[in-house]
């Protein structure tokens, strides 16, 4: 996805939420030849009627990064954040573990769209 500076500013102003940001990131990565895995939250309703959203994971999965991308010999791990959101302690543990095995690790915000595009094109 190649956007003009005006389009980029419009996207940031449009106020993407994390889901929209992730969808656009995955689309661009796929268009550039990356294989992408992503795990999204599901709606859970308890018997008592309580509803919440969670990402179904097992074992040490809590905090697993938003996207895992592979292209050629590159393994890229990214966490997408919007607004003032920051990584959780569990997310930091995963990101550090991926870094230790040589993966490219990024925490990206929509404002970094040009940098993201450059990284995926490299």
Q: Under DSSP, is residue 74 helix (H, G, I), strand (E, B) or coil?
A: strand
Give per-residue pLDDT as tens, 14-57: 678 888 899 999 999 999 999 999 987 788 888 998 988 777 77
The average pLDDT across 88-115 equals 94
Q: Which helix (H) or strand (E) holds 92?
A: helix 89-100
Please tell me the distance from the alpha carbon of residue 104 to that of residue 118, in angstroms, as a whole number. Answer: 14
- CATH number of the structural domain spanning residue 31: 3.40.1350.10
Residue 16 near residue 110 (C-beta atoms within 8 A): yes
Please tell me the distance from the alpha carbon of residue 44 to that of residue 52, in angstroms, as a whole number. Answer: 5
CB atoms under 10 Å from CB of 70, counted, come to 14
CB atoms under 10 Å from CB of 110, counted, come to 22
How confident is the model at residue 1, as a pLDDT? 61
68 or 10: which carries more pLDDT confidence? 68
Which residue bears the tokens 């005006």? 6
Which residue bears the tokens 């003032």? 84
Q: Which domain holds residue 10?
A: 5-121
Q: Under DSSP, is residue 49 helix (H, G, I), strand (E, B) or coil?
A: coil
pLDDT bin (cut points 50, 70, 90) of residue 11 is: low
pTM reported for the whole predicted model:
0.78
The tally of domains found in the chain comes to 1
Q: Under DSSP, is residue 55 helix (H, G, I), strand (E, B) or coil?
A: coil
């Amino acid at each position: 996805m190649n956007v003009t500076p005006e389009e980029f500013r419009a996207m940031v102003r449009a106020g993407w939420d994390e889901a929209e940001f992730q969808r656009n990131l995955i689309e661009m990565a796929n268009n550039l030849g990356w294989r992408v895995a992503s795990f999204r939250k599901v709606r859970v309703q308890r018997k008592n009627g309580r509803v919440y959203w969670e990402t179904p994971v097992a074992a040490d999965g809590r905090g697993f990064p938003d996207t895992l991308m592979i292209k050629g010999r590159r393994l890229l791990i990214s966490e997408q954040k919007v607004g003032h959101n920051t990584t959780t302690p569990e997310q930091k543990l995963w990101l550090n573990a991926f870094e230790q095995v040589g993966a490219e690790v990024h925490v990206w915000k929509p404002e970094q769209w040009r940098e993201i595009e450059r990284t995926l094109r490299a």
